Amino acid sequence: MRVLVAEDARPLADILAEGLRDQGMAVDLAYDGLSAAAKLDLTAYGVVVLDRDLPGLHGDALCQMITEQPDRPMVLMLTAAGTVDDRVSGLTLGADDYLAKPFHFPELILRVHALGRRRPDARPRILRAAGVELDPLRRTAMRSGRRLDLSVKEFAVLEALMRATPGFLSAEQLLEEVWDENTDPFTNTVTVTIGRLRRKLGEPPVITTTPGIGYRIG
């Protein structure tokens, strides 16, 4: 899942991004509202972790802009103001969830996962296809009862392919969904990761390739 963290406190933003990436998410960062708006124009995100008090363009205005998008991301609003009235006003702006600072990071992770599952195009929590069972929340993957020992990126690629089943994902789409904006678009990292994932999945092959189209499960 692709996530945008819009937070002007750089140390906190960097910690959030690192923690979410450790969960296999592709994370982009914006330290002000205008940068966040520009990234939202260019990239389709599943979830936006949005600080309410952003400089440049206030988080309230940005949240309203997001809710006007036809295929909009889910919004988790962060704020130092945690009263009931603050939560109500934030949700009224269109935020899908609201978390007051300071917060426990495991709770933020659970809320981001929950928002991802609430998207209209989201699949069930437990993904199953071609004898593979994947639980994104518990970070477990099995094939025919055998536990798979996957790296963070291997897990994220498998999750993306399973969510797209029975459709294909191109290398460019996988780069967009699993890696972040700092990844070289001409890298062969997708091919390498797919190769490692195939070996770990074992026989018979689970991931098929159609030249010029992409990869799929099945």
The last residue of one of the domains, among 118, 142, 162, is 118
Is residue 133 domain-shared with residue 113, that is, in the same domain? no
Q: Taking 90 as the threshold, does the pLDDT of residue 92 lie above it? A: no
Structure tokens at 123: 């699949």
Q: Average pLDDT of 166-185?
A: 87
Measured CA to CA, the distance from residue 141 to residue 119 in angstroms comes to 22
Query: What pLDDT shows up at residue 37?
Result: 96
C-alpha closest to that of 2 among 179, 211, 182, 131: 179
Return the CATH number at 16. Answer: 3.40.50.2300
Largest CA-CA distance found in the chain, in angstroms, rounded = 56
Is residue 200 domain-shared with residue 183, that is, in the same domain? yes
Is residue 170 domain-shared with residue 73, that is, in the same domain? no
* Structural domain that includes position 201: 127-217
Mean pLDDT for all residues in the chain: 89
Is residue 10 domain-shared with residue 111, that is, in the same domain? yes
Residue 101's Cβ-side half-sphere holds a number of Cα atoms within 13 Å equal to 15
Is residue 20 domain-shared with residue 107, that is, in the same domain? yes
Is residue 110 domain-shared with residue 148, that is, in the same domain? no
Is residue 14 domain-shared with residue 104, that is, in the same domain? yes
Give the chain's domain count.
Answer: 2
Is residue 87 domain-shared with residue 141, that is, in the same domain? no
Q: Average pLDDT of 36-40?
A: 96
pLDDT band at 185 (very low <50, low <70, confident <90, very high): confident
